[in-house]
Amino acid sequence: MSFEPTTEPASATPALPGQKGRRALKTAGSFVWFVVTIALTFLGLLAITFFIGRVIPIDPVLAVVGDRATPAVYEAARIEMGLDRPLPVQFLDYVTDVLTGDFGMSVSTGRPVISDLARVFPATLEMATIGILMGIAIGVPMGVVAAARQGSWVDQTIRVFGLLGYSVPAFWLGLVGLAVFYARLRWASGPGRLDIFYDGLVPPVTGLMLVDTLIAGDYDIFWNALDHLILPASVLGFFSLAYIARMTRSFMLDQLSQEFVTTARVKGVPERVVIWRHAFYPIRIQLITVIGLSYAALLEGSVMVETVFSWPGIGNYLTTALLNADMNAVLGATLVIGAVFIFINKISDVLYRVLDPRAR
Amino acid sequence: MASARAWLLADSPTSRLQANLGRLYRITGMLLRNPLAAVGAAIVLALVLTAIFAPWIAPYSPVGQSLQDRLLPPSAEHLMGTDELGRDIYSRVIYGSQITLTIVLLVAVIAAPVGLVIGAIAGYFGGWIDRALMGITDIFLSMPKLILALAFVAALGPGINNAIIAIAITAWPAYARISRAETLTFRNSEFIDAVRLQGGSPARIIVRHVLPLCTSSMIIRVTLDMAGIILTAAGLGFIGLGAQPPLPEWGAMISRGRTFILDQWWVATMPGFAIILVSLGFCFLGDGLRDVLDPKQGDKG
Amino acid sequence: MSRPLLDVQNLRVSFPTPHGRVEVVKGISFTVGRERLGIVGESGSGKSMTGRSVLKLIRAPGRVTADRLDFDGIDILSRSEKQMRAIRGARISMVMQDPKFSLNPVITVGDQIAEALKFHTRLPGSEIRARVLSMLEAVRINDPGRVAGLYPHEVSGGMGQRIMIAMMLIPEPDLLIADEPTSALDVSVQAQVLDIIDDLIRSKGMGLMLISHDLNLVARYCDRIVVMNAGEIVETCVASELHNATHPYTRGLLAAMPTIDESREELPVLDRASWGGT
């Protein structure tokens, strides 16, 4: 499982602004284009999940009713699922259902998939957010330092560290983390979001445990939740850290080879200012893109980590559904993760162009 | 020796063979001078040799159970200890290299040519063919790969073959993008025009003249992707959707060891080291290849 | 002139390549006083590397050695990076080739000029701003208040280079190195930019090292000329004596220059064999 985002950040040289009026028109045009591409990509995602759910299985009815169903039950299910109608019609129905929030019922939980997803999603969001924050806080300075000392042992170490982010299986790192920090050192709490005896004490408001405990004013549970969160979030954070550090390093190297950096040195500007003000400042927007992509990748990566930590998020929901062959739940979770992923990807892509000072 | 070197490094080679060998010699030389790349190449070579000679290297059978020897810690007799069925973990890791190598090779063999051809067709013909093909490619590219692979395996059913298919389905779009970009850069160049004037058909131009020019960037990309493919395959195995027991697949082995992680840590950790080592090897090699073959690319993406 | 501003003896600059270290500057010696010295040569002759080594801007794996590299009695080669910072900008500065690349694209012009002053003086902010504006005026920019707030991509190439000059001269250095200061500019503004440099250099009594490939231009704006080829100095002469140059390379360059009342059918090509050049 690679945490590397599948799309690459925009290049460093955006178009310079033209006349104001033309630019406004262009902005409106690119906004329309943005919406169209997002819509098309979503449609593509739906087509893929539809394909997976209805076309690949040799007999989707059998998957739902089981092989001991009587012919009558089988036929009823077939008609209920709309499988007697032509594929394009079925696809249209499917799109309508999804757009109205009808993802079908989960076989394993017996509830509508959409309400299951709404319940589990905040847990994933919480973990991924803490993870990305850790990744930014450590990864960006690491990348800058590596670039500033290119070729030194610091740089080599950081480079290898960054490559480890591409080579270590997340589930393995999670297991090792549990063995070391939970079982041996007792520094962190074990699997789950809370200790068992705290379960259900905090009324869910946002679904984010850290926020809900603060709203309830229950600081004991807050610390317990944080204690449970820190290990899985660190595991996730490691992967975003590796990616962010790697990208920061490469952007910085790009900048440090520019003439204007030499200009700054010619002026007698201290190296610290050369690095942070002259080289880092221009790349901060590219970094926002990278961070966005990395965040999306973390939502995906949480599948493995959640499985290891029994974290009741969307990843865990997905793997449980996979093992129970609960196709509605699988496709629902795939759709939601896919949609969030696409959305963050596209947003990060555009954000760059909107925020760049050169386009002001 | 010295004259052989001079022949290889000649500035104006007199034959195509000399040019190609010279290029190969220079690339190998540069690769070996780059310490990380050399380490990577050594690891990948070791993986291949291990997979080929597994029966001779492994001290025990990968499936032979021995219940009185279960869950033994690492020792001289069992380098990596034994698992819950008394199987020698070291031997299983050695045999596991065959599975990993198979997965990686099959995915590369399926996905790279598909991507290559789609990208080259899109780039060469342009127009609506390009837009349609790249539209599909972009949609696949903006999906989360692992999730997509999971969903495909869920529909296809668990098993190593289906895992390979699912990973290949998610891997081709990146290659299509690369080969399209490469094709665009020389679609209108004069040597392609020359072939066209000689009456070369589009298929011939693409296969004989365009695709060969995409190979170096393709090799870099495939090598860099190997780590991701290995991790995805291991992840599928870990969840229980990839290789099925008793196959000694590394991800599945970690999954079995999960139960014992707190007391018998070696059962889950040892196969993990194998995954890391091999993935890292491909990363190093890919990085090094990129530095050597395509220096201007930097290390983006 | 008791002691020259810059005294360079046997300067060598080398870079590693797959075929071993290659010297791009091969043991050159020259001095610069409070005068205008032109360094001429084609690209790859090592003239830019010479300029950069004076500021100690050549980073590893490049290597600079010299029997002597003294600026105003200071041994440049033995200075630490920190000590060099006090010299760069404040005492020696450099105008670079293309303002499109040599100005930071995301910092305003005014801030970039102010920065040159900020790290060498302890002036209050208001004073710095006033100095920036008057410096912009000195390089003949109308409406300096507005220009100071612009980003580099919002100004023309000629104006960008004047901003560069302002930035490099604001701490009032003793020596200015101008590395191809006009080759990225339109012909129409080249003379204007050089006139500004010339003006400011003379009025402040500074030294100038004008590095260029353009023999004509150097002859017009400099007092003395050094001709470089393949990392070596092949000729040193007073600008007015240039037509009496003896080295075949210089003669070749002079012969290749068209004149306004041209009667030749074609311009001669440099005959490199005559002096064993590359």
pLDDT at A4 exceeding the cut of 70 = no
pLDDT tens-digit readout, B179-213: 888 888 877 788 888 888 888 888 888 888 888 88
Per-residue pLDDT at B279: 94
Write phi, then psi, for C224 (nearest 5 degrees).
-125, 155
C94 CB within 8 Å of a chain A CB: yes
Asked whether residue B13 is assigned to any structural domain, the reply reads no
> ∠ CA(B136), CA(B142), CA(B148), 5° rounding?
90
Structural domains present in chain A: 41-99 (no CATH), 120-313 (1.10.3720.10)
- Confidence tier at B272 by pLDDT (50, 70, 90): very high
Q: How far apart are CA B24 and CA C71, in angstroms?
A: 49
The answer, for C120 touching chain A at a CB cutoff of 8 Å, is yes
Work out the pLDDT band at A19, boundaries 50, 70, 90: very low
Burial class (CB in 10 A: 0-12, 13-18, 19+), A126: buried
Q: pLDDT tens across B58-104, in order? A: 888 888 787 887 888 888 888 888 888 888 889 999 999 999 999 99
Chain A residues in contact with chain C using a Cβ-Cβ cutoff of 8 Å: 16, 151, 258-260, 262-271, 273, 277-278, 281-282, 357-358, 360
Cα C99 from Cα C91, distance rounded (Å): 22
B240/A contact by beta carbon, under 8 A: yes
Q: Which chain A residues contact residue C96 at CB under 8 A?
A: 259, 262-263, 266
- Whether B59 is covered by a domain: the verdict is yes
| Spatial CA neighbour of A224 closest among A210, A206, A203, A208 | A210
Beta-strand pair C175-179/C207-212: parallel
With b for 16 or more beta-carbon neighbours within 10 A and e for fewer, the C22-34 pattern comes to ebbbbebebbbbb
What pLDDT is recorded for position A360? Answer: 43
| CATH of residue B176 | 1.10.3720.10
Total domain count for chain B? 1
Contacting B residues, span 129-158, partner chain A, CB-CB under 8 Å: 135-136, 138-148, 150-156
Span B119-172, pLDDT tens digits: 989 988 888 999 889 888 988 887 888 888 888 888 888 889 999 999 999 999
Cα–Cα dist A223/C87, whole Å = 55
Mapping DSSP to helix (H, G, I), strand (E, B) and coil, where does residue C30 land?
strand
Q: Which residue has the higher pLDDT, B96 or A326?
A: B96
Does residue B264 form part of some domain?
A: yes
Contacts of B191-198 with C-beta under 8 Å, sequence gap 24+, read: none
> Amino acid letter at A246?
R
Judged against a pLDDT cut of 70, whether residue A15 lies above it is answered with: no
Q: Which residues of A touch C164 (CB under 8 A)?
A: 263
Q: Which chain C residues are within 8 Å of A358, Cβ to Cβ? A: 105-106, 151, 153
B2, part of any domain? no
Q: Which of A293, A296, A307 is nearest to A338 (CA)?
A: A296
* CA B18/CA A273 separation, integer angstroms: 51
The pLDDT score that the predictor gives to residue C275 is 59
The crossing angle, in degrees rounded to 10, of helices B145-156 and A327-355 is 160
Query: Between these two residues, B27 and A126, which has the higher pLDDT value?
Result: A126
As a whole-number percent, the residues of chain A with pLDDT over 70 amount to: 88
Provide the shortest C-alpha distance from residue C116 to chain A (in Å).
5
Shortest Cα–Cα distance, B173 to chain A (Å): 10
**Contact check, Cβ <8 Å, B139/A40:** yes
What H or E segment, with its residue span, contains residue C93? Answer: strand C92-95
The length of chain A, given as a count of residues: 360
Confidence band for A357, pLDDT divided at 50, 70 and 90: low
Domain that holds residue B263: 23-66+78-300
Q: Cβ–Cβ contacts within 10 Å for residue A86, how many?
A: 8
Residue C48, C-beta contacts closer than 8 angstroms, at least 6 positions apart: C179, C180, C211
Write out residues 233-252 of A within 8 Å (CB-CB) of B.
246-247, 249-250
CB A229 within 8 Å of CB A130: yes
Percent of chain A with pLDDT over 90: 29
Question: Could you tell me which residue, A27 or B199, shows the higher pLDDT?
Answer: B199
The structure tokens listed for C217 are 């231009």
The beta-carbon neighbor of A266 closest among C89, C104, C105 is C89
CA pair distance C73, C85, nearest whole angstrom: 17
Q: What are the pLDDT tens digits along chain C (278 aa)?
A: 467 899 999 999 999 887 788 889 999 999 998 999 999 988 878 888 999 999 998 887 889 999 999 998 889 999 988 899 989 988 999 999 888 899 998 899 999 999 988 888 888 989 999 999 999 998 989 899 999 999 998 898 889 999 999 999 998 899 999 998 888 888 888 888 899 999 899 998 899 999 998 888 888 899 999 989 888 888 888 888 877 777 777 877 777 777 767 677 777 776 666 655 44
Distance from C-alpha of A1 to C-alpha of B254, rounded to nearest angstrom: 15
Is B243 part of any domain?
yes
> Residue B231: what pLDDT?
93
Residues of chain B with Cβ-Cβ distance to A2 below 8 Å are 145-146, 225, 227-228, 231-232
Per-residue pLDDT at A155 exceeds 70: yes
Contacts of A360 in chain C (CB under 8 A): 151
Considering only residues A107 and B122, tell me which one the structure prediction assigns the higher pLDDT.
B122
From A271-285, A305-319, B198-212, the region with the lowest mean pLDDT = B198-212
- pLDDT-based confidence at B300, cuts 50/70/90? very low
Asked if residue B7 is part of any domain, the answer here is: no
Cβ pair A45:B143 closer than 8 A:
yes
Assign B53 a pLDDT band (cuts: 50, 70, 90): very high
Nearest CA in chain A to C101: A259
Distance CA C78, CA C74 (A): 9
Query: What is the Cα–Cα distance from C72 to C75, expressed in whole angstroms?
Result: 8
State residue A22's pLDDT score: 61
CB C86 within 8 A of CB C129: no
Residue (of A50, A46, A76) closest to A61 by Cα position: A76
pLDDT digits (tens, 9 = 90+) for B91-101: 999 999 999 99
Domain membership of residue B163 (yes or no) is yes
Q: Which of the two residues, C245 and B52, has the higher pLDDT score? A: B52
C-chain residues near A267 (CB < 8 A)? 88-89, 93, 115-116, 119, 167-168, 171
ipTM confidence score: 0.86
Other Cβ atoms less than 10 A from the Cβ of B109: the count is 12
Percentage helix, strand, coil, to 5, in chain A? Answer: 75, 0, 25
What pLDDT, on the 0 to 100 scale, is given for residue A21? 58
- Mean pLDDT, residues A138-159 taken together: 90
C-alpha distance from C183 to closest chain A C-alpha (Å)? 15
Residue B277 has pLDDT above 90, yes or no: yes
Q: Is the pLDDT of residue A113 over 50?
A: yes
Chain A residue numbers with beta carbons less than 8 Å from the beta carbon of C171 are 267-268
Residue B289 has pLDDT above 80, yes or no: yes
Substitution target from A54, A55, A107, A167 for chain B, most B beta carbons within 10 A: A167
pLDDT at A26 over 70: no
Q: Is B10 inside any structural domain?
A: no
